[in-house]
Chain A
Amino acid sequence: DTGVSQDPRHKITKRGQNVTFRCDPISEHNRLYWYRQTLGQGPEFLTYFQNEAQLEKSRLLSDRFSAERPKGSFSTLEIQRTEQGDSAMYLCASSLKEGRGAKNIQYFGAGTRLSVL
C-alpha cells in the first residue's frame, strides 16, 4: 500500500494557461474522487469515478474543468484557460467500495497546490 499519489505537488501558472494534474490511487481501489480546498475552507467535492465511469460531477466543475480515468487506474484533472479563482489545493482520494459502504473509506493524497498569477 503506497498510498494515494498526486503530481505535481505545486503548480504555478499564468492566467489563461491550461494545467493538468495526475492522481494515482491506491491499487485495487475502484473509486476515485477529486476535491478542491481553498484557504480556510474544508474540501469541496468536484467529481468521482467508479472504475473508469465518471458517476457524479459537482456544479463547481465548470466547463473549463475535465476529468478522466482511463482504464480505471490513474486519473487526470485538467483546467483550461485558468483563472485566478482557480487557485486552490486540489485533492484526490480513493476508496474501495465493498458491499454496504463497509470499507468505503476515502484515503487522500497530499494534494496539488495551484497558484494562478
Chain B
Amino acid sequence: AQTVTQSQPEMSVQEAETVTLSCTYDTSESDYYLFWYKQPPSRQMILVIRQEAYKQQNATENRFSVNFQKAAKSFSLKISDSQLGDAAMYFCAYRMNYGGSQGNLIFGKGTKLSVKP
C-alpha cells in the first residue's frame, strides 16, 4: 500500500526567508502524481503545486518550488520569500495514475508552518 510521510509536525520561518518542508512516500508504481496542499486555519484546502512522476523537471509556481527525487521517493516543498499568509498546515499527497485506486489522494499527516513577522 502507498504511504506518505511528513516527518516535520511543525516548522517556523521568518518573514521573507526560505523554508523547506519534507515529504517522503512509498510506492511500487512508476506512474503517479504528487501534490502539496495548503490548509489555512478554518479554511478550505487549496492546491499549491503538482508534480508528475514521469517528468524529471521540478515543478515551480511563483514562490513555491519542489525538489522531486524519484529514486529516493522524496518530494520536498520550498517556499521562498515567506509571507505571513503562508502560515497554514501543508499536506503532501500522492495519487496513482492508473488502476483501482486512481481517484483518491493519499495524504501525509501535515506540517504546520508558522511565519514570524
Chain A residues with Cβ under 8 A from B102's Cβ? 101
Q: Which of A15-23, A43-51, A64-72 contacts B (4 or more CB under 8 A)?
A: A43-51
Chain B residues with Cβ under 8 A from A3's Cβ? 44
Q: A55-B103, A56-B100, A56-B104 are in contact. Are A41 and B44 (CB under 8 A)?
A: no
Chain B residues with Cβ under 8 A from A43's Cβ? 45, 91, 105, 107
Q: What per-residue 1/0 map shows which CB atoms of A76-110 lie under 8 Å from chain B?
A: 00000000000000010100000011001111111
Q: Contact residue range for chain B?
A: 20 to 34
A58 CA to B106 CA, complexed, in Å: 12
Q: A105-B47, A108-B45 are in contact. Are A42 and B104 (CB under 8 A)?
A: no
Chain B residues with Cβ under 8 A from A109's Cβ? 44
Within 8 A of A (CB), among B58-75: none
How many residues of A are counted as interface, with CB atoms below 8 angstroms from the partner's CB atoms?
Answer: 28
Q: A56-B100, A100-B97, A101-B33 are in contact. Are A45 and B47 (CB under 8 A)?
A: no
Q: Nearest Cβ in chain A — how far from B3, in angstroms?
A: 11
* A interface residues with partner B (beta carbon < 8 Å): 3-4, 31, 33, 35, 40-45, 48, 50, 55-56, 58, 91, 93, 100-101, 104-111
Known contacts A4-B44, A42-B108; 7 additional CB pairs below 8 A are: A31-B103, A42-B93, A91-B45, A93-B105, A101-B33, A101-B102, A110-B44
